[in-house]
Structure 1
Amino acid sequence: MFLIGRGLNGLGVGFINCAIPTYISEISPPGQRGRIVGSHGFIICAAYGVAGWCGFATYYEHNPKIQWRLLVALQLVAPLLLLLGSPWIPESPRWLINRQRDQEGLAVLEKLHANPADPDHIAAKGEFLQVQRQLAFERTQPVPNYFQLFFGAKYRKRMFIGWYVQAMAQSTGVLVIANYMVLELNTLGVTGSMPLLLLAVYNSWAAFLNFINALLIDRIGRIRIITIGLTGCVICLTVVTALNAKYAGTDNKAGQAVAVLFMFLFVTFYGFGIDVSSYVYCTEIFPTSIRSRGTGWSVSGLFLMTTIYTTAAGPAFQNIGWKYYLVFIIVTTLMLPYAALRFPETKGLSLEEIGALFGDEVVFDLHNLSTEEQKALDARVAASADIAGIENATSDKAWTTEHKAAV
């Protein structure tokens, strides 16, 4: 029963771990998408912190049945809250517009962009126009099957990048360190309830850094902040490995304390640059027609590499000890340069405009409008009372990418 329950739990986690960041990316404005999608990674990490504190608390419970049953039962709380709140969550405006439910999609966008300084909903109408035109164009294109996603030139690069980013994030060894931290701390002379306390602090600190990551990613940029995070992780893990090799199992408290410090510095860089950023980047590089499939494929890289690394961790630590960390140092060092130098930056672009980085045609490009063109567009859109008026305001060739300068 326990194994079947865990299997069903994992199935649900797999579903929502793809659906939630995909949904958030589709309701977020370009300039704030990193921060808003980043809330997904932040809350996941915060939940790790809560779980750590619960584990620390139940250490002092002497009834073993309560110890483990209470922790398992507490997993009901978060999905129950999500389930109860789901009826009040609006549908993705891009999903609605893609099914030609334009009025509903515009209404959702107006709620999302509600701002007293914009009583005419200019921002919402502008985004509606861009989404509507782009999706109308995409509907004229053949729907790709899975073979075309992986082997067609138009989508292959995105599928590779999405999977690569998630696999690279897990190749830092972050979950191996977190899952085996209590045992690792034991080898460094930390015993009793202290390892559980340090694990709770470790995950809570990581959650705080995820929050900082979400705040800064729209300023620093996706690729730059990922590069900073990965570089810091490699350096810190290298130091941890060296200190483990020298001081694990010894009486040198100073050396062991420094090893613990660098474990915390490791998660500092991971939380600051990688955890949130990987979700943000993998949800925004795909066009609407394949975003759910692309995000699902990307996240499969996370789960696959996590399964490989954590399954091997038990026998690896038992047989080769600290040398297992060399795997993460070497793999991450080899993967980092390609991502830093070759992956396109998506900061500040709408989901439709990101397609241009991968060779897609952007039917209605708002990002490259001049100040005069933007003002002219705002005036025409603000004067539109309904969807027909919005469409007519921009129906002439002056607003296509090729002819926008004619305004």
Structure 2
Amino acid sequence: MEDYKQGTEIMHQEDASPSPVEQNEDARPWYQQPELRKLYMMMPFLFLGSTTLGYDGSLLNGLQTMPAWKSCSHLGLLGAFPGFGGFAVLLFTPYIADICGRRMGTAIGCAIVILGAAIQACPPRSNPDAMFLAGRFIMGMGGNLTNATCPLLITEVAHPRHRGRMTTIYNTAWYLGAILAAWTTFGTLNHIDGDLSWRLPTGLQCGMPGILLLTVYMLPESPRWLIAKGKYTKANAILTKYHGNGEETGFVSWEFSEISQTLELEKAAASSSGWYELVRTPGNRKRCFLIIATAIFSQCSGNGLVSYYLAAVLNTIAAINGGLTIWCWLVSLGCAFLVDRVGRRTLFLGAGVGMLIAFTVWTVCSAVYEKTGNSSAGSAVLAMIFLFYGAAGLAWPGLTVSYTVEILPFNIRAKGLTLCFVFTSLAGIFNQYVNPIGLNALAWKFYFVYIAVLVIECLVIYFFYVETRGPTLEETAVLFDGPDANVGGMDMTYERKASIIAAKEV
């Protein structure tokens, strides 16, 4: 009760300053602010949640090249079982994140991933296939749980000026995991004989979640989650330490006030804390539409296709894939630093248009190669693949998660992120099972389906996507719910809400 009273006093204190910029915010770069620097030096540990998924996504491809592994396990469901495990836990992930906290949810997910990886690396000789399959199912459960909590913690603890970049970098770390798995399996294949050649890279899958498990409690808990649980003093202490460098400045008081009052308004306005809240209001329905569109576009824009003729033209497919992964990572990581300079909507639209142009040329070159067998056309396909994935790197790897979490209010943020993962998984299943059928039936003509999808994608982005650059995490609600949005704060008047909307319409 005393904690609540103290938090209420902080939350409702008066301040005459009209905007957060004038609230004594420390304008120095983050690396010149000691406490903020400590926070961001610890952030890469949270990126390991995405790296873990990338490692697993690439690991199976490497294992399939190993004779020792093939003799132990040759089940066709191996690639799909982590997805099944992920689906099994998705319904529960938002409740774990909201009830146990962002850090505890991450820790639980890491422990489950370690268990699954250990089972895969050391299956009993009596029934290795079944245990390897079980390990992949368990690992999928833990991976999705970790991936559903890490972005929440990043976006909710980062300074408002750096929120977009930090959260966008998170999902680009997927490529780093894929690169590590590719090189690890390549090394063991060429230098280690016997079962150890596949047990070692499989067991190393414990490394990244293990590091994250050991370090996650070095990071602060989400101040928004703490406030939602009535732990006002702890939340204010975290904001003061990291966003005020140990001093309770006017900026920290303003930030605490906005978060606290907004969460109170959200709680009072919500009909319930259930899944229905995702579609109860027009603003939430628009959020869900954008989340579903983002999830589908991130997987079904042609990026799930492998060039139909690439294997026939080039004998260095492994090297090409390795180079393509590194290229995608560098482009997506570089673009993550542009989200606050260029804007989310601009990056999305640039990615859509760039992919449409590259994919159209890709299709034409594929048609020329089929009809003439011209090797130059085949090389042009390779060039277009790199340009296509470079264009995709402008937005889809990083913004798929960061855009989702920042357009959602706190009370449905965890559930909305789960919705994104559901449709991402469904789109991935579509790629896995439908694309081969279409390619076998229509060859290069199947590419026209994705040209049409890319045209629709560009139109949806242009007419419906909302630019979220500028407003704080709480103020983003104004862009979806209008001047009556449930946003509080010292200076959050009806006029200020209207000015946020007007600034985006210019």
TM-score bucket of the superposed structures, by smaller chain = 0.7 to 0.9
**Aligned counterparts of 2:186 and 2:365: Cα–Cα separation in 1:** 26
Query: Which residue, out of 353, 357, 362, partners 1:240?
Result: 362
Structure 2: which amino acid aligns with 1:198?
I
- Alignment length (residue pairs): 364
Which residue of the partner structure matches residue 127 of structure 1?
255
**TM-aligned CA deviation for residue 151 of structure 1:** 4.8
SS of the residue 2:338 aligns to: helix
Structure 1: which amino acid aligns with 2:298?
A
**Aligned counterparts of 1:34 and 1:154: Cα–Cα separation in 2:** 21
Q: Pick closer, same or farther for the CA change 1:77–1:185 going to 2, 3 Å.
A: farther
Which residue of the partner structure matches residue 364 of structure 1?
488
Q: Pick closer, same or farther for the CA change 1:114–1:196 going to 2, 3 Å.
A: farther
**Aligned counterparts of 1:75 and 1:325: Cα–Cα separation in 2:** 36
**Aligned counterparts of 1:64 and 1:123: Cα–Cα separation in 2:** 60
Q: Pick closer, same or farther for the CA change 1:63–1:241 going to 2, 3 Å.
A: farther
Query: Which residue, out of 493, 497, 500, partners 1:401?
Result: 493
Percent identity at matched positions? 27
**Aligned counterparts of 2:186 and 2:447: Cα–Cα separation in 1:** 26
**TM-aligned CA deviation for residue 327 of structure 1:** 2.6
Query: TM-score, normalised on structure 1?
Result: 0.81
Which residue of the partner structure matches residue 4 of structure 1?
134
Q: Following superposition of structure 1 onto structure 2, how do residues 183-262 of structure 1 map, counting pairs within 5 Å? A: 185-188=310-313, 190-191=314-315, 194-247=316-369, 252-262=374-384
Task: Deviation per CA, 1:379-402: give whole Å up to 9, x if none.
Answer: xxxxxxxxxxxxxxx5xxxx4514
Moved more, 123-132 or 47-56: 47-56
**TM-aligned CA deviation for residue 150 of structure 1:** 2.8
Structure ranking higher on relative contact order (CA contacts 8 Å, 6+ apart): 1
Structure 1: which amino acid aligns with 2:368?
K
Q: Does 1:316 align with 2:316?
A: no
Q: Following superposition of structure 1 onto structure 2, how do residues 71-86 of structure 1 map, counting pairs within 5 Å? A: 71-86=201-216
**TM-aligned CA deviation for residue 59 of structure 1:** 5.3
**TM-aligned CA deviation for residue 68 of structure 1:** 3.9
Which residue of the partner structure matches residue 94 of structure 1?
224
SS of the residue 1:23 aligns to: helix
Q: Following superposition of structure 1 onto structure 2, how do residues 348-387 of structure 1 map, counting pairs within 5 Å? A: 348-359=470-481, 360-364=484-488
Structure 1 unaligned residues grouped into runs of 5+? 366-393
Moved more, 121-130 or 48-57: 48-57
SS of the residue 1:30 aligns to: coil
Q: Pick closer, same or farther for the CA change 1:213–1:314 going to 2, 3 Å.
A: same
**TM-aligned CA deviation for residue 25 of structure 1:** 1.4
**Aligned counterparts of 2:422 and 2:254: Cα–Cα separation in 1:** 34
Q: Pick closer, same or farther for the CA change 1:66–1:356 going to 2, 3 Å.
A: same
**Aligned counterparts of 1:109 and 1:211: Cα–Cα separation in 2:** 27
Query: Which residue, out of 299, 302, 316, partners 1:173?
Result: 302
Structure 2: which amino acid aligns with 1:5?
G
Structure 2: which amino acid aligns with 1:127?
E
Which residue of the partner structure matches residue 25 of structure 1?
155
SS of the residue 2:190 aligns to: coil
**Aligned counterparts of 1:217 and 1:59: Cα–Cα separation in 2:** 40
Task: Deviation per CA, 1:308-347: give whole Å up to 9, x if none.
Answer: 1122233433443333333322212113212222222110
Which residue of the partner structure matches residue 384 of structure 1?
none
**TM-aligned CA deviation for residue 352 of structure 1:** 1.0
Query: TM-score, normalised on structure 2?
Result: 0.66
Query: Which residue, out of 153, 176, 179, partners 1:46?
Result: 176
SS of the residue 1:217 aligns to: coil
Task: Deviation per CA, 1:233-290: give whole Å up to 9, x if none.
Answer: 1211222222223226976332222211111111111112222122211111111011
Which residue of the partner structure matches residue 343 of structure 1?
465
**Aligned counterparts of 1:147 and 1:323: Cα–Cα separation in 2:** 41
Query: Which residue, out of 225, 250, 267, partners 2:389?
Result: 267
Is the 2:240–2:247 contact (alpha carbons within 8 Å) kept by the matching residues of 1? no
**TM-aligned CA deviation for residue 137 of structure 1:** 1.8
Q: Following superposition of structure 1 onto structure 2, how do residues 111-150 of structure 1 map, counting pairs within 5 Å? A: 111-115=241-245, 119-141=247-269, 142-150=271-279
Structure 2 unaligned residues grouped into runs of 5+? 1-130, 497-506
Q: Pick closer, same or farther for the CA change 1:184–1:68 going to 2, 3 Å.
A: farther
SS of the residue 2:468 aligns to: coil
- CA RMSD, 1 decimal: 2.6
**Aligned counterparts of 1:10 and 1:238: Cα–Cα separation in 2:** 35
Query: Which residue, out of 233, 246, 263, partners 1:103?
Result: 233
Q: Does 1:279 align with 2:373?
A: no
Task: Deviation per CA, 1:138-165: give whole Å up to 9, x if none.
Answer: 2222324323423543422211211111
**TM-aligned CA deviation for residue 221 of structure 1:** 0.8
